[in-house]
Every structure is written in C-alpha cells, then in structure tokens.
Amino acid sequence: MLEIRDLNAWYGESHVLHGLDMDIPEGKVVTLLGRNGAGKTTMMRTIMGLMGKTTGTLTYQGVDLLKLRPDQIARRGIALCPEDRAIFPSLSVQENLFLPPIIAKGGMEIDHIYKLFPNIRERASSRGTQLSGGEQQMLAIARILRTGARFLLLDEPTEGLAPVIVQQIARTIKEIKALGYTILLVEQNARFVEDLADIHYLIENGAIVDRMEAAEFAANIDRVDKLLGV
Ligand SMILES: Nc1ncnc2c1ncn2[C@@H]1O[C@H](COP(=O)(O)OP(=O)(O)OP(=O)(O)O)[C@@H](O)[C@H]1O
C-alpha cells in the first residue's frame, strides 16, 4: 500500500530522516519502534506532507505522496492520530467526533463506532476536558474512522496509559485491523505491539536498523529492548 524509498527529511538545516526504506502492505499492522527522538513522529509527519524539505519517494497506490499537499494526502484516505491526541477540550465528545470532514467514501457509521467504543457512547455529552487519557485516545481513533480514511497512522497510542487501558486499546486495534484497515503504529512499548503487528521496523537516529516479521519478534525481544533502552 505504501512503499517508502530512500526517504530523507529536514527541519530547517537539521537532517532528521536518513534514507529510510519501508513497506507497509495493505491490511497489515506495521510498527515503527524506537527511542525518543529517533524520528518516528517525523516519519508520520512526512507521510502526511507536513515536513518542509524532503527527498526520496513515498509511493501510495501508485502516486508519490511527496508531490502532494497535506489536504490532497488526507483525501486519499490517510489519517494521523497525533501523540497529543488533539481533542478539543471545550467541545463535547460528540462534537469532537463529528468535527473532521468526511474525506472519502466508506467512513464508519456512528452506530458501528459506538459499538467498537462503548465508552465513547457513554461519554457522548461530556466535554473533552472531562475524559481520561484512555478515553481521549479512543476518541482520537474513533474520530478518524468516521472520515473514511483507510490508512491510519497512530503515534504512540499507549503513552502514559495504565496497563488495563493499554490492553483495551490493543483489542480495539485488532478489531480495526480485522475490518481491513492498514495501520502504521509508532511505539516505544514493545510488549504492546508484540502480538499486534505483522511487521516490525526498528528506527535509530533517523534510519531503519532492523526489520522483523511477527514470528521473529519474540526471539529478538532482547535486541528490541536494548534499542528502546528498556
Ligand atoms: N520542530 C522541530 N524542529 C527541529 N528539530 C525537531 C523538531 N521536531 C523534532 N525535531 C528533532 O528531530 C528528531 C526526531 O524527532 P521525532 O519527534 O521525530 O522523534 P520521535 O522518535 O517521534 O520521538 P518522540 O517519542 O520524542 O516524539 C529529534 O532529534 C528532534 O529533536
């Protein structure tokens, strides 16, 4: 679905991504694991067209995303769920949910969203500020499902959440995957992604240093922990 070749990205003069190669097949969950500052968020910002200077190719359904504007990328069905979750605090849960425009056909119906996220239904009239971190994360994911996006970029969805909520998010991501969505998951939590992802990429200093299939992950967990500094 997305083929990334020799991708470089800069913040001003600062060269942050150094020749990344990655493949994200349709309908799969792919993780990008790495420490703080490794370049994970930059990778997602690059896919969304939010970086100033870039080189390389990002071929998505035959088109190079690096040549498109962020709005054109979004309209191709790609959506980012940012690390800070970006829930509008003064709006209700329902208002937050309905805020993003529908960008492609086939967006998830609200009844289906409420079935996947029963907490969100219960909290529909609560303000964004009244939600727990886990509820905010669920709402942030629910919100992009409504838009019709089929390729979801989730930036550290488990950050700062209690283990029981992390498990709930893992179940939800599995359910979304079973519906045929493609997911790129940025994480520092190796245990969370262990039985969730089909392919794991490890990133260090803006370059991919390893790639593992799901079946190889458990045997290499020490190497992963070392990279993550656990
Ligand atoms: N707006 C910016 N301007 C300049 N440098 C930046 C900017 N944002 C990030 N960087 C630098 O780019 C590098 C990669 O940062 P990035 O946020 O992509 O890392 P990350 O792997 O997502 O880590 P984190 O978990 O902390 O978000 C870091 O060295 C960071 O300091």
Tens digit of each residue's pLDDT (9 = 90 or more) over 34-61: 999 999 999 999 999 999 999 999 999 9
Q: Which domains does the chain have, with CATH numbers?
A: 26-51+68-228 (3.40.50.300)
pTM to 2 decimal places: 0.94
Contacts of 108 (CB under 8 A, 6+ apart): 116, 145, 146
Phi/psi of residue 199, each to 5°? -140, 140
pLDDT at 230: 78
ipTM surpassing 0.90: yes
Contact criterion met (CB below 8 Å) for 5 and 65: no
- CB 153 within 8 Å of CB 181: no
The pLDDT of residue 106: 85
Backbone angles phi, psi at 10, to 5 degrees: -130, 145
Structural contact between residues 39 and 218, judged by C-beta atoms closer than 8 angstroms: no
Confidence of residue 216 (pLDDT cuts 50, 70, 90): very high
- Alpha helices (H) in the chain, listed in sequence order: 40-47, 70-75, 93-98, 110-116, 118-122, 133-146, 163-178, 190-193, 214-217, 221-228
Residue 191 has pLDDT above 90, yes or no: no
Q: Cβ(155) to ligand 1 under 6 A? A: no
- Give the 3-state secondary structure of residue 207: strand
**From the CA of 42, how far away is ligand 1's center (Å)?**
6
Distance 30 CA to ligand 1 centre (A): 20
Q: What is the pLDDT of residues 58-115, one digit of tens each?
A: 999 999 999 999 999 999 999 999 998 999 999 999 999 999 999 888 899 999 999 9
Of all protein residues, the one whose alpha carbon is nearest to atom 2 of ligand 1 is 11
Residue bearing the CA closest to ligand 1, atom 3: 11
With a 6 A CB cut-off, is 228 part of the ligand 1 pocket?
Answer: no
